Chains A and B, each alone.
Chain A
């Protein structure tokens, strides 16, 4: 099972900064292992960020995002205590959803 995400959401003035760290191999499908075999593609394809129940970011990513991806987003109009939910789905259908509270 995939590692839980690390989500940080902090508000400064009107802007909430959201940082997300995901545990994922992000295999492109082109890499060869030590034995010379191609490692099959295994990467996140879609991700969403919700704040206070509303979708703020709808993202699509490919295999050229680094292993164990890190993302940063900014949102206006949120407030301390609002819930941030991040969800990703990869090309094998595995899904993970984690949440944090804006501090």
Chain B
């Protein structure tokens, strides 16, 4: 359930009214549903689909996008990943694990002083390329790194 959506729907009186507003261009869906989960992107089954889902049709590699992740993970259940974008005007960072059944893991938009710098812990089902995607001035930039995943033995 999305509370924002419910409130808006109620306030607008009827779904039809809202749709009409959107259709007329008075309201962009992204404005109304700022927090709507991007189902298509998160449920995409491959990296290309996920990239398409977040609007990143074409991407360029960038040295100003820094991705940190371990070379090898002792357990794929928790893999620490950090992304910093030094590309000016970066407004969002998304992180993909290409070999996961649903590659898109997370997507963050920054505003009001937030630095394009995020740290997360991700699941890797197997050894995979981890890919960061940054959006700046409407363009998409990427950086990648392979993380090897192993499964530990006993003890520790």
Contact = CB atoms under 8 A, between A and B. Distances in A.
B111 interface: yes
Contacts of B105: 61-62, 64-65
Interface residues of B, number: 36
B112 interface: yes
B22 interface: no
A48 interface: yes
Interface in B129-150: none
Interface string B108-126: 1111111101111111000
Interface string B1-30: 111000000000000000000000000000
A10 to B, nearest CB: 14
B42 A60 contact: yes
Contacts of A51: 112-113
Given A60-B42, A62-B105, A65-B105, A70 B37 contact: no
A77 interface: yes
B112 A65 contact: no
Interface in A40-88: 45-46, 48-49, 51, 54-67, 69-78
B117 A59 contact: no
A75 B109 contact: no
Nearest to A95: B3
Interface in B54-103: 77-79, 82, 97, 100-102
A64 B122 contact: yes
A93 interface: yes
B110 A61 contact: no
A66 B35 contact: no
Rank and list the top 7 A-B pairs by shortest CB-CB distance, nearest first. A72-B119, A93-B1, A56-B114, A77-B113, A45-B37, A74-B115, A66-B121
